[in-house]
Structure 1
Amino acid sequence: MANFQLTYKPFGDKAILIEWPNRIDENILKDILQFKQVIENDASKYIVEVNHAYNSILIIYKNFINDFTIKISNLSRLYKIKKTDLVLSSKLWKIPVCYDLSFGIDSEEILKSKNIDLRLLIRLHTNPVYTIYFIGFLPGFLYLGGLAEELHFPRKNNPRLHIKKGSVAIGENQTGIYPNESPGGWNIIGNSPIHLFNSSEDVPCLIKGGDKIKFYPVSLEEHLQITELVKTNTYQMESEVLSG
């Protein structure tokens, strides 16, 4: 586990915020996920939950923290312990996307601004293997890193009140999928028929931080076929286990 210069801050009466350097970086993500696992292994019975974002971990404890200095000192000690045998498991998930303009309601604006055609947009969007940094904003909303610079595009000044479930979108240097209908200010370029979050399942969201995503294009007909399979719970999202 690499050693970064971390800061530790009280966050209310029952929580501590740990922050890494303020940048999107896969080395930082790996360090965060490793330290998160160390914390959970060491003090799970004292903790309500441990959440992470691009460059931070928030630890929420069950009881009030009487002495933050002691807690922070213990966390700092844990971080400095090298865990050379700690392996993080991850998966590569392959997600179908239909880029038809009937779904990609903002694609024409992007195409015109970038002076590219739809085929190139699709190729640029499906070529990368994206890293999932964390899940937030909505349950199942994946924050992905790795969008091609040619597709970076500003968020909308006036967000929409209703974004369709499964909408695949671009916001600044990020791309993602809206797991449910919601407001949103990202630019819609397609739609995926899969469910990213299902509250009725034992594990509502199969995908987790540290996993990878690979988009692949499907036609309108294929999108409809997958939608029907999803409705009957007979669609199996393709994935493969990656080495730690």
Structure 2
Amino acid sequence: MLSFHPIGDQAVRIRLGDRIEPSVHDRVRQWCRALERQSIPGVIEWVPSYTAVTVLYRPGEVTYRQLVQSLERLAEQLDEEPLPQPRMISLPVCYGGEYGPDLESLAEWCGKTPEEVIRIHSSVEYVVYMMGFAPGFPYLGGLPKEIAAPRLATPRSSVPAGSVGIAGEQTGVYPIATPGGWRIIGRTPIPLYDPIRNPPVLLKAGDRLRFRPVDRTEYLSITEALEKGEDVWNTGEWLMDKT
């Protein structure tokens, strides 16, 4: 289901499907890869989502019709665009306690013990479908329905950076301190967003992600190493593929 739609006077939405499913996600990745390689005049950037890609452009350099024509030509070559193997990333997470204040209430909601929630949440390979809400915030698909739970009735005014949360059938990680209503079950010491890092955002659409439970001692050890500027990426187990 390929179609093009204007979003204001500076963006085009490439619609690729109606449902969140692997085949549509692969198509989104193909479009992003092709846009990166083709360098269409007037295009500023593109933003992938669950079922679409939004292309931002400069109307002074290219008209909407001209851009759509370029995108239509690109669509004819899309099947020839190879998809790179997704990166597999494993983030350490300290569940419960001060780092996961909603773990016990979420477990009660789901009819599980906190230990069962941790086991289920950390046993899945998630897909990073899209980024949004805040710089570096990943929307992850694949959360088991047995630990799905609604958002908090009253959002928190501030959720610490690194907090791992659940909202409905999604899970995600807060990259910066921000208000939020997701149920917080743990926290990772690995920064998902760092404005002085290149690139500043750790994750990207198409990545695969697993959560690795760690205790408070290991959490603090990783935090201390990061504060000292140590290269935790080469010594830790959390980034399994840096390509």
Q: TM-score, normalised by structure 1?
A: 0.91
Alpha-carbon separation, structure 2, partners of 1:118 and 1:124: 10
- Kindly indicate whether residue 82 of structure 2 is the aligned counterpart of residue 86 of structure 1: yes
Equivalent of 1:165 in 131, 146, 161: 161
Aligned-partner SS, 1:121:
helix
Q: TM-score, normalised by structure 2?
A: 0.91
Bigger shift: residues 234-243 or 153-162: 234-243
Look up the match of 2:199: 203
Letter in 2 for 1:175: T
Equivalent of 1:126 in 118, 122, 129: 122
Letter in 1 for 2:229: N
Look up the match of 2:47: 51
* Equivalent pair of 2:31/2:78 in contact (CA under 8 Å): no
- Structure 1 residue runs of 5 or longer lacking an equivalent are none
Alpha-carbon separation, structure 2, partners of 1:162 and 1:73: 45
Deviation, 1:104, is 1.4
Look up the match of 2:25: 29
Alpha-carbon separation, structure 1, partners of 2:89 and 2:135: 18
Alpha-carbon separation, structure 1, partners of 2:81 and 2:179: 43
Look up the match of 1:174: 170
- Kindly indicate whether residue 236 of structure 2 is the aligned counterpart of residue 240 of structure 1: no
Alpha-carbon separation, structure 2, partners of 1:242 and 1:85: 22
Bigger shift: residues 138-147 or 101-110: 101-110
Deviation, 1:181, is 0.7
Alpha-carbon separation, structure 2, partners of 1:66 and 1:203: 28
Alpha-carbon separation, structure 1, partners of 2:175 and 2:242: 24
Which string of whole-angstrom CA distances, capped at 9 and with x for unpartnered residues, describes residues 51-85 of structure 1? 11111111111234775334323312321324335
The list of structure 1 runs, each at least 4 consecutive aligned residues, that deviate by more than 4 angstroms after superposition, is none
Count how many residue pairs are aligned between Structure 1 and Structure 2.
Answer: 239
* Equivalent pair of 1:195/1:230 in contact (CA under 8 Å): no
Bigger shift: residues 190-199 or 73-82: 73-82
Alpha-carbon separation, structure 2, partners of 1:68 and 1:139: 28
Identity %: 31
- Kindly indicate whether residue 135 of structure 2 is the aligned counterpart of residue 139 of structure 1: yes
* Equivalent pair of 2:40/2:70 in contact (CA under 8 Å): no
Alpha-carbon separation, structure 2, partners of 1:161 and 1:22: 33
Which string of whole-angstrom CA distances, capped at 9 and with x for unpartnered residues, describes residues 97-137 of structure 1? 01132221111211112221111111100000111111111
- Structure 2 residue runs of 5 or longer lacking an equivalent are none
* Equivalent pair of 2:96/2:102 in contact (CA under 8 Å): no
